[in-house]
Each structure stands twice: as structure tokens, then as C-alpha cells.
Amino acid sequence: MRLPISIAQLKSKLIQENLVSPEKFDAIAVEAERKNENFLDKLISEKVVGQSFLNQFIADTLGVEMVDLSVVGVDEKVIKILPEEIARQRRVAVFRREPDGVFGVAMADPSDLETIGFLSERLNGKIKPYMVTVDDLERAFSVYGMEMTRDFKKTIEENVQASLRNASRSLEEASVQVPIVAIVDNLITYAASLRASDIHLEILEDSTLIRYRIDGILYEIMRIPKEVHAALVARLKILSGLKIDEHHQSQDGRFRYPISNQLIDVRVSVMPTFYGEKLEMRLFESTQKPLSFEELGMLEYTSTVVAENLKKAYGMIISCGPTGSGKTTTLYAIMNILNKPTVNITSVEDPIEYNIKYVNQTQINPAAGITFANGLRSLLRQDPNIIMVGEIRDSETAGISVQAALTGHLIVSSLHTNDAPTAIPRLFDLEVPPFLIAATVNLIIAQRLVRKICQQCIYSYETPPEIKDLIMQQLKDLNITDNSSVPKIIYKGKGCNSCNMLGYRGRMGIFEALEMNDKIKRLVIQPQFNLESIRKEIQNGGFKTMFEDGLYKVQLGKTTIEEVLRVIRE
């Protein structure tokens, strides 16, 4: 979003309110421009100002009203006067029509006179703009989603039938015919509207199963006749630049798909199964930027520890967790903070998920001989200060990373472990000597992703006895004797249009951060290493486990206890 008020106005207001010094304001402006980040988002992520304060100030400055669509509601008939594609592109929602015929329009940028003029001409009426939050605007867009859900299956079924009528065509011809193209377009567009991260096309004995992963959970969307499966896979292979006639080997590719005013990067994986080829698509916003620690879900007691360790000039910071736990997103957030004009940052990744300005990113390509190990060797000849290694998978990569950390580089990487303490024996398993672990590892972060409660339909209730028992049992399993953290009130989402009746919308991390202090280092180099002695030591030092972090977020109404228990026990 462009800045709807002048920087001078904003600067004057924030200084007047004693929220920022002139020097810090100017430094944030320079940093936002250097990294090509949104200036308002940067002010919020730097905790200079809150979103609500900023929205109200912009509304007051522009002389428009703030509107809360969760309170005033959205007229379903009126909002559909403007097509969804135009509404999303212009970032507006026509939410009501006044008795005098004036259209009430919620806008992300009420200063956009060109859009106001366009709407006035398009709707043939007067426009009254209102300031609205981004979340509220998405709530309005969800009304379109209800109609899209109804139309989606009907559209797919119609095109499936049309494709079956053309079944005599060759596979390559069928893949470019209108029905198959329309099915693929609808699958991707509908997935994007539901904020799905993955699309699965799975061929079964009698049908093709279509499933979407939304906020980490797989949902069955529909089943279609298996006769169209081969043509769908062929269409997606063509888009991804894969071999259409190869059916017995796995293939990976990617393509970019336009939806409204944004581009979606689609990573495609095809592999043979018993009944045919299974295809999986991972969806990324091509313009997505690294998140701040606050947006990741880190609370102050975690983000403070991480921020302190980012000040160190050398050593290793390791992010841990299973596949799909958000490790890479955390690494990108760390890299974005470290991204300063005075340092040279390089990375070797598989794959490159976000493009970070001023970071020299290298994609793993085994076919071309670029692996984590030899890619890292090459990076060390590029005079780097900071190196991101997407994942330490083998002893060779681990050894080179440790040597680089010893010789004045800051290494940021990830490991597959269940929690922070078990990263230490995992490094032993990768043949890293204990004394080198103690000498190089600064910080180990472990995490999981939990679904956030939809704030449009959240409600509270008294914690049932059986839930209290589950919490106390989990604390006991972690050798935590203090039961004072068991919440008396917990929260859930009822389900609404905004969250597609799921009660959840979006995800956040739950974290634990193990700082390698002198006591821990001495335990690591003991001849008889004992993981339990480390657990006991960090517990005495006030270490918060992922479960405790999650439990606190349950108390804050950010997630549910069921979510925390689900991911902790996975």
C-alpha cells in the first residue's frame, strides 16, 4: 500500500506523541527504502507505533471515518455489485448503500482519488470512502468466497464432463483444451482464495482425490473421475517445464500464476504411485516479504534472547523442528534483521522461497553439482560475513559450517530435531566434536506452527476438568512441577465466513530458545554426555519450553489448547 499521507505529517505526529525520535524515524525510512519494504509496515515491526493508532491517525488526517465491518456488517447483495477481481485489485469493498443512494466503500487507502472516481463512474453513484483495516477488508472479501465455493464444484464438474466428451484426443492435445485449462485455473484460484499452501492431486483406484492444505491441515475438497487425471497432470507438467512423456521417474518444476493483482509462485512435484502419477503443488506469494519476530509469533522473552545473539559477529544460530514447522521462515526473518549495508550476506538454499534484496542467494542443484557442502565451500570464497545454510543434512555440511563459524563467520542454519536440547546429540550424530559444538553454537531455536483463533468469531469458556488434566500431565512429562500456568479461561473460534467456518485463520509459531551459556557448554564437553542434565540445567535457568510458550498463547486467546497439544505430540 502506498503512503496515504505525507511522511512529514506522519513524522511530526509521531515526534509530537513522543513515539519516536527524529533520528530513529529517518533511520527507519532509509532502511525501508534500502530493503524495498513498506514504510508503514516497517514502523509497526519496529514497534514505533501500533496498527490501530496508525489507522486512526491516517483516517483523522484524511478526514474520513474508520469503519469496523464486524460491527456494521456487509450487505451481500451490495458488495457483489463490484466484481471480486476489481475489489481485490483496488483494495476496496462496497459494504452498504445509504437510503440516499450513496455507496459506503471500505478502502485500504481512502486518499486514492483515482479509485474513488473509477467507482463513482462504475457504480453510477456517489461514493463515501471509509478507512478500514487489512483484516476487516479480508473479512469483506470472504463474502465473495462463499459464492466462489458454490460455483467452484459446479465449474469443475462441468469442465470434467466436457473433458470426458473429448477423451479420444491425445494426452498432449487434451492438456491444452479449454476444459482441462479451466479445471487447473479453478483449482489454483480457489486454493489461493482459501489461503491454501498446498494442492494435492492423488490418483486412487476409482477416482482422483483433490486435497488442499490450509493452515497446516489437509482437507478433502472433492473427487473427480480418474479419466481426466492424466490430462490434468500433463497440463501442469507443461506449465512447469517438465517432460510430459516421463511417467516412471519423479520430476520437480515450477511456474508463476497470475491471480488478480498478484503473482503466485507454484512449485510442482510429480512422482509415480501404484495407480499413476501423484502431483503436489506448493503455493507462494511471489511478492511475500520476510516476517518480523512479532509476526512469526515470538513473544518478548523469546525475541529478546534471539536479538541479543544476533549481535554476535560469529558462531552458529540453529533453527530446529520437523518438516513444515516454519524453520525456513524464521531463518528469513533473522536474515532480514541482519541485512545491513556493512555486511556481505550469502546463502545456499533448497529452494529459494523468498527473494531478499542485497542477499546473494544460491539455489541447490545436484544435477549441476551444487550441493549444500560444495555450495558452502564456494560461498566461503566470496568474502561473506553472514552465511545462511538452508539445512544441515550431512556430516560434510555440518563440518564445513562449524569450521566457518570458527573462522569469524556467523552461520544461520536449520536441523531436523524435535526440540532445542536434542539439536546437540544430533550434531554429535553428524560427527561434530563436542568441543567444537561448545565453541561455535550460540543459540538453538525450536518451533512448531499452531493455527490462530479467528478473531472474528472468538469466544471464551471455562477450562473443562479433562483439559486441565491433559495440561497438568503434559507439564509433568516435561518435569515442570509448577501448575500455576494452567489457564482458568480458554478460547475457541465458533466458525464464520471469514475463516471458512473453521474457527481458525492463519498460523503462528510456538518457540523455545536455548542459549549456549558457559554451564551448558561445560555439560556438552563432559566425557559422559547426558541430555537430561542439560534439560535440568536449562529448566533451573528459567528456560521456557515450546509447550509453555504455547500455553501462554492459549491464555492470551491467540490459539487453542487442542492446537498446542496436537503439534507438541506430533
Distance CA 329, CA 333 (A): 6
Contacts of 180 (CB under 8 A, 6+ apart): 159, 163, 174, 228, 231, 232, 235
Q: State the Rg of the chain over Cα.
A: 26
The pLDDT of residue 1 is above 70: no
Tens-digit pLDDT profile for residues 138-168 = 778 877 766 666 677 788 888 888 878 776 5
- Taking Cα atoms as reference points, which of 343, 320, 342 lies closest to residue 331? 320
Lowest-pLDDT range of 6-15, 418-427, 475-484 = 475-484
Q: What pLDDT band is residue 351 in, cutting at 50, 70 and 90?
A: confident
What pLDDT shows up at residue 167?
Answer: 63
- Tell me what the mean pLDDT of segment 339-362 comes to: 89
What pLDDT shows up at residue 33?
Answer: 85
What pLDDT shows up at residue 147?
Answer: 61
* Residue at 289: amino acid letter: K
Preceding amide of 322 cis, omega within 30:
no
What pLDDT shows up at residue 569?
Answer: 82
**Locus of grid cell 471458512:** 500
Q: What pLDDT band is residue 347 in, cutting at 50, 70 and 90?
A: very high
Task: Give bridge partners of residue 459 from the DSSP assignment.
Answer: 492
Residue 147: Cβ within 10 Å count: 12
The pLDDT of residue 446 is above 60: yes
DSSP state letters, 252-316? EEEEEEEETTEEEEEEEEEEE-SSSEEEEEEEEETT--PPPHHHHT--HHHHHHHHHHHT-SSEE
What pLDDT shows up at residue 3?
Answer: 65
Lowest-pLDDT range of 11-25, 112-126, 243-257, 281-295 = 281-295
* Residue at 238: amino acid letter: I
Contacts of 165 (CB under 8 A, 6+ apart): none
What pLDDT shows up at residue 140?
Answer: 82
Lowest-pLDDT range of 283-292, 444-453, 548-557, 559-568 = 283-292
Mean pLDDT of all residues belonging to the chain: 89
8 A C-beta contact, residue 524 and residue 442? no
Element (H, E) at 56: helix 51-62
What pLDDT shows up at residue 371?
Answer: 87
- Tell me what the mean pLDDT of segment 461-478 comes to: 91
What pLDDT shows up at residue 126?
Answer: 94
The pLDDT of residue 194 is above 70: yes
Report, in this order, helix, strand and coil percent for the chain, each rounded to 5. 45, 25, 30
**Locus of grid cell 514505533:** 48
Tell me, rounded to whole angstroms, the distance of Cα 366 from its chain centroid.
27
8 A C-beta contact, residue 102 and residue 58? no
- Taking Cα atoms as reference points, which of 43, 103, 112 lies closest to residue 79? 103
Bigger pLDDT: 569 vs 454: 454
Tens-digit pLDDT profile for residues 287-317 = 677 788 989 999 999 999 999 999 999 999 9
Q: What pLDDT band is residue 261 in, cutting at 50, 70 and 90?
A: low
What pLDDT shows up at residue 105?
Answer: 95
The pLDDT of residue 124 is above 60: yes
Tens-digit pLDDT profile for residues 267-278 = 999 999 999 999
Tens-digit pLDDT profile for residues 24-81 = 999 988 888 888 788 888 888 788 888 778 888 888 888 999 998 878 888 888 998 9
Element (H, E) at 401: helix 395-406
What pLDDT shows up at residue 445?
Answer: 98
- Tell me what the mean pLDDT of segment 244-251 comes to: 92
**Locus of grid cell 552458529:** 316
From residue 390, give the alpha-carbon distance in Å to each of 413, 440, 539.
6, 18, 29
Conformational region of residue 32, where left means phi above 0, alpha means psi within -120 to 50, and beta covers everything else: alpha
Bigger pLDDT: 255 vs 39: 255
Pairing state between β 315-320 and 441-453: parallel
